């Protein structure tokens, strides 16, 4: 379980999308780029990493890269069912302004290092809260 600001949040069950994108427990970059229709450089940009990060990965970059890509995979996995599939979930992630975040998108929040806020927002929506 992860702790979020003095609250224990139980881990969400992995979505079929997330499970498929991380067959060995780590993000499979080639599978993810194919599923979301982006190049490695575009995927890096979407999660807020330098363009070359996903081209050649060394041990120093691996942890940060995996964490950012995992955030994307988990968010897309959470919204794909109600968005209408992975392409629509990706479009939501990149372009839908979220009023709770002052009009910023999920992509902007992840790039700013605040994926936890997006997860809490999605939890709130999942239990019937308003956007």
Residue 20 CB contacts under 8 Å (≥ 6 apart), including other chains: 31, 35
Rounded CA separation 130/128 (Å): 7
Q: What is the pTM of this model?
A: 0.77
- Taking CA atoms, 16 is separated from 23, 71, 77, 84, 88, in Å, by 11, 15, 7, 14, 16
Strands (E), the chain: 2-4, 7-9
Full pLDDT tens readout for the chain, 131 residues: 444 454 444 445 556 677 777 777 778 888 888 888 898 889 989 998 887 777 765 544 577 788 888 889 989 999 998 899 999 999 999 999 999 999 999 999 999 989 999 999 998 888 876 65
Residue located via tokens 């959470």: 78
Residue 21, φ and ψ in degrees, nearest 5: -80, -10
């Amino acid at each position: 379980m992860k702790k979020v600001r003095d609250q224990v949040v139980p881990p969400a069950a992995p979505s079929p999308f997330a499970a498929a994108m991380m067959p060995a427990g780590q993000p499979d970059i080639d599978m993810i780029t194919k599923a979301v229709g982006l190049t490695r450089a575009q995927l890096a940009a979407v999660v807020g990493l330098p363009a070359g990060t996903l081209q050649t990965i060394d041990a120093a970059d691996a942890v940060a890269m995996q964490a950012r890509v995992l955030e994307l995979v988990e968010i897309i996995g959470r919204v794909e069912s109600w968005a209408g599939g992975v392409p629509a979930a990706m479009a939501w992630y990149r372009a839908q302004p979220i009023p709770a975040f002052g009009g910023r998108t999920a992509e902007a929040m992840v790039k700013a290092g605040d994926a936890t806020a997006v997860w809490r927002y999605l939890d709130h929506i999942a239990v019937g809260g308003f956007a």
